[in-house]
Amino acid sequence: MNIYVGNLPYETTQEDIRKNFEAFGTVESVNIIQDRETGRSKGFGFVVMPDNAHGQAAIAALNDKDLGSRKMKVNEARPRTDAPSGGGFGGGGGGGERRERRW
């Protein structure tokens, strides 16, 4: 089961998250998402637990639990979409007929 973990303090480590989730079962992996340019945590990540029942138990127990100075948001991760994440060039308006203005 892939689990989203959000609202993390920026100083949270993968080991901090692993310790919280291991109380509910085997943790296959922990991945905190980091900014590509700065390397700083973006404040969210993902935990993979192979057993769905253990994952659901972790979600129920850890959602809104204090971690550092924040309350974690924990829920089942939604599948990624293939849609672009923005930052591209927007389509311009325009179109229509251009007329030269004469006075």
User: In terms of Cα–Cα distance, which of 14, 51, 19 is closest to 30?
Assistant: 14
Q: At 81, is the pLDDT very low, low, confident or very high (cuts 50, 70, 90)?
A: confident
In angstroms, how far is CA 17 from the centroid of its own chain?
A: 14
Q: Around Cβ 36, how many Cβ atoms within 10 Å?
A: 7
Per residue in 29-76, pLDDT tens?
Answer: 999 999 999 999 999 999 999 999 999 999 999 999 999 889 999 999
| 46 belongs to a structural domain | yes
Q: Which residue range(s) make up the domain with 65?
A: 2-76
Q: What is the pTM of this model?
A: 0.76
Q: Where residue 49 sits, what CATH number does that domain have?
A: 3.30.70.330
